[in-house]
Amino acid sequence: MKARIPGAPQGGQAAMMQRLQEMQDQMQRTQEEVEATDFTASAGGGVVEATVTGAKVVKDIKISPEAVDPEEVEMLQDLVIAAVNEALRKAEDAMVQGMEKAKGGLNIPGLF
């Protein structure tokens, strides 16, 4: 006779495998959703705007005409880098948050 712990999930290993498969499916869907999402960020008060995909691919760069000054090329380059990096950070944050939600609070080594 096996002892039963009150409140513990029943079903043993098969139920655990089912739950892990569901979690893996949810994580896959989440990854696909995030990768298909565009993330936009701006720098310099909006004069430079970068859009990346959740797959971390730069999709668009917009530069306002007032940002283009031949004497300030280095500043413009810095603004472009800042906007792209912020958009990439947003994409990464969305992926991490989605994976945490998909894991459902489980702490499994090797998963995000």
Residue 27 falls within a domain, yes or no? Answer: no
User: What confidence score (pLDDT) does residue 108 get?
Assistant: 63
Question: In CATH, what number is assigned to the domain containing residue 89?
Answer: 3.30.1310.10
What is the pTM for the complete model shown? 0.68
User: What confidence score (pLDDT) does residue 93 get?
Assistant: 93
User: What confidence score (pLDDT) does residue 12 get?
Assistant: 82
Residue 88 DSSP SS3? helix
User: What confidence score (pLDDT) does residue 83 get?
Assistant: 93
Residue 58 falls within a domain, yes or no? Answer: yes
Residue 34 falls within a domain, yes or no? Answer: no
Degrees to nearest 5, angle at CA 50 with 82 and 28: 105
Structural contact between residues 32 and 54, judged by C-beta atoms closer than 8 angstroms: no
Structural contact between residues 51 and 63, judged by C-beta atoms closer than 8 angstroms: no
Q: Which of 46, 34, 11 is CA-nearest to residue 96?
A: 34
User: What confidence score (pLDDT) does residue 2 get?
Assistant: 55
Residue 79 falls within a domain, yes or no? Answer: yes
Quote the domain boundaries for residue 61.
Answer: 40-102
Structural contact between residues 84 and 77, judged by C-beta atoms closer than 8 angstroms: no
User: What confidence score (pLDDT) does residue 16 get?
Assistant: 84
Total domain count for the chain? 1
User: What confidence score (pLDDT) does residue 29 get?
Assistant: 92
Give pLDDT tens digits along the chain (112 positions). Answer: 555 555 555 668 888 888 888 888 998 999 999 999 999 999 999 999 999 999 989 999 999 988 888 888 888 889 999 999 999 999 999 999 988 888 777 776 665 5
